[in-house]
Amino acid sequence: MINSRNYISRLKIQQRKNNRKWLFYRICVISISIFLIIIIPSEIVKYYKSSQNKPEVKGISSLNLTNISLSKIPKIKNQAKLPMVNSRQYALVDAKSGYLVVSKDENKRVPIASMTKIATALVAIENYKLDEIVTISKNASSTIGSDAQFKTGEQVKVIDLLNAILISSANDGAIALAEHSGSIENFVKKMNDKIDALGLTNTRFNDPSGLDDEGFSSAKDISIILTYALRKPEIKSIVNQSQKEIISIDGISHQLDNSNRLVKDEMYLSGIIGGKTGFTPIAGHNLIAAATRNQHTLIAVIINTFDNSITASAEEAKKLLEWGFTNLEY
């Protein structure tokens, strides 16, 4: 009898323990269920809302552009086929929103040759007066590559040097502008300071002409640089000229012929604003070009075309811009 009572007592004690365990388990299950059903979804909603409030629209934050309507971000039309672009890197950007429409390796760091001169022009405009007179050094006049045939000792206004570097990609003009700051090194530092101020992380310049292939940028970065540069009326008024004559203080005439074929009759693009070419054997054929139609501006960046012909970058940029104006809706 005693053993039976002890056995029953032990059973009751064990049952109470089991009941407490099951109560604990039920509380845990209920708590986890509440967390899964209520807490996590609410956090997901918060995250989604926060991500919607801060959309990743490429280029906007770097440029601090104002009056941008996110509803105006372009969309590719239904059934539109993506463009076939024959270059190693490229990008098509909506200038107003900074939205990257289509691209390939847009963040890859690569040499960009004379497209560098967009930054050279920016720094010159922001540090010099347009009517300042620059004396051409022997170092500048003997620079290799494309030039405006400036003579040693010749005196040229800053505005005319800007025309020379942006129209005919004059390396002698780029060196002269840089030396006017005191030294080429000082000027290049200002170029990189400007890049840092724009928040660009895939660009670093080594010289003002772009001949140094150790300098680099990316398709995305250079599109942002041009977008910013086109806010300067001095630059915008220069880059769309097919030809121009400049006359130095010494009375020497220099005929400038635009290296960007999209502003010339041979390959003219409707709505073209202008841009900048670039070529070295390592960087390949490059072109950045902006055009406007129906109040929408697109920027095409072509870096290192597969075709090595002198017209390849213009052909690819034109094709990309035409595709954009045909297949985008706002």
Token representation of residue 214? 């150790």
CB 122, CB 63: distance < 8 Å: no
Active-site choice (62, 87, 169, 259): 169
Active-site choice (96, 117, 190, 194): 117
Query: In terms of C-beta distances under 8 Å and separation of at least 24 residues, what long-range contacts does 8-17 make, across chains too?
Result: none
CB count within 10 Å of CB 276 equals 32
Lowest mean pLDDT among 35-44, 49-58, 207-216, 239-248: 49-58
Strand partners, 297: 292
- Residue 96 falls in the annotated catalytic set: no
The highest-level CATH class for domain 60-329 is: alpha beta
Average pLDDT, the chain: 87
Q: Is 113 left (phi over 0), alpha (psi -120 to 50) or beta?
A: left
- Residue 75 falls in the annotated catalytic set: no
Domain boundaries of the chain, sorted by first residue: 1-54, 60-329
CA distance 275 to 71: 27
> DSSP letters along 273-290, please?
EEEEEEEETTTEEEEEEE
Active-site choice (103, 114, 137, 218): 114
Would the pLDDT of 316 be above 80?
A: yes
CA distance 99 to 75: 10
pLDDT band at 36 (very low <50, low <70, confident <90, very high): low
User: Could you tell me whether strands 155-157 and 100-104 are parallel, antiparallel, or unpaired per DSSP bridges?
Assistant: unpaired
Q: 311-323 in b/e burial notation, b at 16+ Cβ within 10 A? A: ebbbbbbbbbbbb
- Residue 183 falls in the annotated catalytic set: no
pLDDT of residue 58: 40
Which tens digit of pLDDT belongs to each residue from 105-123?
999 999 999 999 999 999 9
CA distance 84 to 281: 24
Mean predicted confidence (pLDDT) in 84-112: 97
User: Could you tell me whether strands 87-94 and 100-104 are parallel, antiparallel, or unpaired per DSSP bridges?
Assistant: antiparallel
Which tens digit of pLDDT belongs to each residue from 136-185?
999 999 999 999 999 999 999 999 999 999 999 999 999 999 999 999 99
CA dihedral 290, 292, 297, 301 (to 10 degrees): -20
Tell me: is residue 276 an annotated ligand-binding position.
yes
